[in-house]
Amino acid sequence: MDFPPEIRPDAIPRHIAVIMDGNGRWAKSQGWQRIKGHRAGADAVTRCVEACGDLGVEFLTLYAFSTENWQRPKSEVAALMTLLERFLIEQRSRMMADNVRLQAIGRLADLPQSCQDELQGCIEATRENTGVTMILALSYGAREEMVDGIRRLLREVGEGRLAEAAITPEEVSKHLYTWSYPDPDLLIRTSGEMRLSNFLLWQCSYAEIVILQKLWPDFQKEDLYGSVREYQRRQRRFGGL
């Protein structure tokens, strides 16, 4: 395909993070069950990954299920887990064809065993792929991530493997689930909500935030391009002048 117009190829965000919100409202607005919105949301994921591939984005982190989402009705949680498993099975060949590398962050051990197995299978199969790295945030909470990181830091200090004075912001970053990825440059949230909902609180310190009014199932490739255009209009100062 041609490179989308009015996007500078030399200023593409390396890492885009997305809070995929609004599936339930999308379904309700059509008089359907919420799960239908989640199904449509899975197709939007495919479009989003493709659009990132078009632009040469290196990392795409997708907030798919939060630690707080476990509080939803059992039936919705079960349906989401089934959908996740089906998504992984169906998408595996597409990920291979599109050179996508799959990764995951979160308390993955909380997921049903069958989901964990599919996830690990997909991660293994796509490990050598060199295109977009798609990172699924599953049973993810930024505070839980920080707690897990703090516990590891304390253990290392306790065992004398790390000096307390050596705990710097860089060292903390190395103890998060995202230790091997750069921080997000651009954070997109759909459905108009202006909050982080416990997503990448540490890593998004200097992310540019774009809020889209659209509900996630309506997300098109053009919405990703438009968000990158908006990002390229921003002046990132990082506290300097």
The correct pick among 16, 17, 23, 101 for binding ligand IPE (CB under 6 A) is 23
Residue with Cβ nearer Mg ion (19 or 104)? 19
**Minimum distance of ligand IPE from residue 87's CB (angstroms):** 12
Q: Is 178 in the site for ligand IPE (CB under 6 A)?
A: no
Tokens of 15: 């890492």
**Minimum distance of ligand IPE from residue 90's CB (angstroms):** 18
**Minimum distance of ligand IPE from residue 28's CB (angstroms):** 7
The correct pick among 25, 39, 107, 214 for binding ligand IPE (CB under 6 A) is 25
**Minimum distance of ligand IPE from residue 37's CB (angstroms):** 6
| 12 to 31: interface string for Mg ion, x by CB under 5 A | ---------x----------
Q: What is the largest CA-CA distance in the chain?
A: 59
| Chain residue at closest Cβ approach to ligand IPE | 24
The correct pick among 197, 202, 226, 232 for binding ligand IPE (CB under 6 A) is 197
| 48 to 77: interface string for ligand IPE, x by CB under 6 A | ---------------xxxx--x--------
Active site (annotated) includes residue 198: no
Could you tell me the end-to-end alpha-carbon distance of the chain, in angstroms, rounded to an integer?
Answer: 38
Q: Whole-angstrom Cα distance, residue 79 to residue 211? A: 27
Q: Is residue 37 within 8 Å of residue 26, measured between CB atoms?
A: yes
Residue with Cβ nearer Mg ion (21 or 185)? 21
By three-state DSSP, how is residue 116 classified? helix
Q: Is 6 in the site for ligand IPE (CB under 6 A)?
A: no
Q: Is 87 in the site for ligand IPE (CB under 6 A)?
A: no
Binding-site size, ligand IPE (CB under 6 A): 17
Residue with Cβ nearer Mg ion (102 or 188)? 188
Active site (annotated) includes residue 43: no
Bridging pattern class, strands 101-105 and 133-140: parallel
Main-chain phi, psi angles of 188, to 5 degrees: -110, 135
Q: Is 80 in the site for Mg ion (CB under 5 A)?
A: no
Tokens of 238: 């990082």
Q: Find tokens 């002048």 and name the residue.
A: 241
Q: Which amino acid is at 138?
A: L
- 23, 54, 69, 99: the catalytic one is 69
Residues of the shown chain interacting with ligand IPE in the complex, contacts defined by CB under 6 A? 19-25, 63-66, 69, 80, 191, 193, 195, 197
Active site residues: 21, 69
